[in-house]
Amino acid sequence: MLRPIALLLPASLAAAVALAAPAARSPRAPAPKPAAPAAAPSFSAWWHDGKAELNGYRVTVQRYGAPRTARAVAIYVTEPFSGSRHVKLDDPAKTPADAVDVLKLNLTRDFQTGVYDYHTMLSVFSQTRDFSPLKVAFTSSEWCGQVYEELHFWSGFTQHKLFSYFEGESSERKGPYPASGVAEDNLWITLRGLNGAYLAPGTKRTVPYLAGAFWRRLAHRDADWTKASIERLARPERVTVPAGTFVAEVYEVRPSDGRVGRFWIEQAHPRRIVRWQWTAPGAGAPMGGTDAGELTGTTRLDYWRTHAPGDEKLLESIGLGPAVK
């Protein structure tokens, strides 16, 4: 009787056989889904954080028939404002019924014209509930003199005050405030769409329109209401500026004075103005006054606390250096 013979395989050969055997297949795990983009913070969470948004710009200003290299800084910050007196409130708790939450824009532009220089500043105070303007103030100083202008928006009318070094130019008058009227200077706030888009893509509206103080000052135009069309282009554009590359919504503004303006608004939060450009009318503006700018850098900062020697280095975050070295 034959006995069964047990086959003993070397360990290395047994391992090879095991590897050659088909492995049991486990079910394939589903591919991970891409993470959804983070939701933008609410207006209040972003804009009431105790800081200001600072945006630096490289600018070209048309003045006296030539392009002038300029720099600009746009400072956006919320603050308590008096609805009756149109000034910043020291203590809003004392007069809560008069306190209005505003988004303030301070926009400075500085440029050289030959031997002398210009320093201008625009201030816009808009109610955060609907971004309608309460007050626009503007100053221009150069070697010939100074000009200061205030425009107040009241219920049903405006109040305009102009103080100038030119004889016969200073004035104070009341004027209309047309329904749906748009102040050009307030476009720096409304077109950003901080609580919803100003216009849907591919749509346009025609509005009563008040030209901006910077243009009116340099072109020597009066503060009178005219008309303008404002259009949002159907498709966004990819634009590259010193601060980077952005996908931007594009708005085109055509006032009846013949200028054409374009604003490129960052499509993503926080929807900054990354570029703007105004082209002059075909004729009738020999003094200039149109400008164009590109974003050089941006940050959020409680800048009023950064006034120590050496804090100038913080300007690097907005792509600028000290104005005086």
Q: Where do the structural domains in the chain lie, given as residue ranges?
A: 43-318
Determine the pLDDT at residue 39. Answer: 78
Mean pLDDT of the 118-147 span: 98
Mean pLDDT of the 19-47 span: 65
Helix, strand counts (H, E) of the chain:
4, 16
Determine the pLDDT at residue 15. Answer: 43
Exposed e or buried b per residue across 115-130, where buried means at least 16 C-beta atoms within 10 angstroms of its C-beta = eeebebbbbbbbbbee
Please report, rounded to a whole number, the percentage of residues in the chain having pLDDT higher than 90. 85
CA 26 to CA 261: how far, in whole Å? Answer: 62
* Amino acid at the residue 153: F
Determine the pLDDT at residue 76. Answer: 99
Give the highest mean pLDDT range of 10-19, 135-144, 276-285.
Answer: 135-144
CA 121 to CA 104: how far, in whole Å? Answer: 13
Task: Report the residue count for the chain.
Answer: 325
Give the distance, in angstroms, between the CA of residue 238 and the centroid of all CA atoms in the same chain. 17
Determine the pLDDT at residue 70. Answer: 98
Q: Above 90 in pLDDT, residue 28? A: no
Q: Above 80 in pLDDT, residue 3? A: no
Q: What is the 3-state secondary structure (H, E, C) of 16-66?
A: HHHHHCCCCCCCCCCCCCCCCCCCCCCHHHHHCCCCEEEEEEEEEEEECCE
Q: Above 90 in pLDDT, residue 14? A: no
CA 323 to CA 111: how far, in whole Å? Answer: 11
Tell me the per-residue pLDDT of 52-62, one tens digit each, with 9 for 90 and over.
999 999 999 99
Mean pLDDT for the chain? 91
Token reading at 57: 């710009």
Tell me the per-residue pLDDT of 233-246, one tens digit each, with 9 for 90 and over.
999 999 999 999 99
